[in-house]
Amino acid sequence: MSDPRFRPRNYVQGSGAFGGYGEVDWIVPRSDDEADRLSAAQMQDRLARQIRRSAAAQYGSVRAYADNHGLSYDRLTKLLRGETLMRLEDSRPSRPSSRRNPGMTTKRHEQMTKFAPVS
């Protein structure tokens, strides 16, 4: 995986729990660019907290959530810890994995095969 432009967790002061359950102290931005990145980091933190709560309530663990939705556990945990940037496609709800390809959601499979040539 390439090095991200910035790591959202780096915008937390001290040993704050990015995407976790505790309080977070955010840095004070020193520029407009840093303020924009801080805003993105705060949004990712809120989403990460929501994903953790939902995963625990509905699946018992983040790993089970990832497995059930055909997501990479490694990537998901990096997103939740703020080690890498979340993309818009990471935040969309997905359906459980397709049996045709365990790493592909049903919706993605349908989109990819919609215009596939008939054999």
The whole-model pTM stands at 0.71
Q: For every one of its 119 residues, what pLDDT tens digit does the chain have, with 9 covering 90 and above?
A: 555 678 999 999 976 689 988 888 999 999 999 999 999 999 999 999 999 999 999 999 999 999 998 889 999 999 999 999 988 776 555 555 444 344 445 554 444 344 444 43
The values of phi and psi at residue 108, to 5°, are: -60, -40
Give the C-alpha separation, 25 to 109, whole Å.
Answer: 41
pLDDT of 23 reads 86
Domain boundaries, the chain: 8-113
Q: Determine the pLDDT at residue 81.
A: 93
| pLDDT given for residue 4 in this prediction | 60
In contact, 69 and 96? CB cutoff 8 Å: yes
Q: Residue 32 has what pLDDT?
A: 96
| Structural contact between residues 64 and 51, judged by C-beta atoms closer than 8 angstroms | no
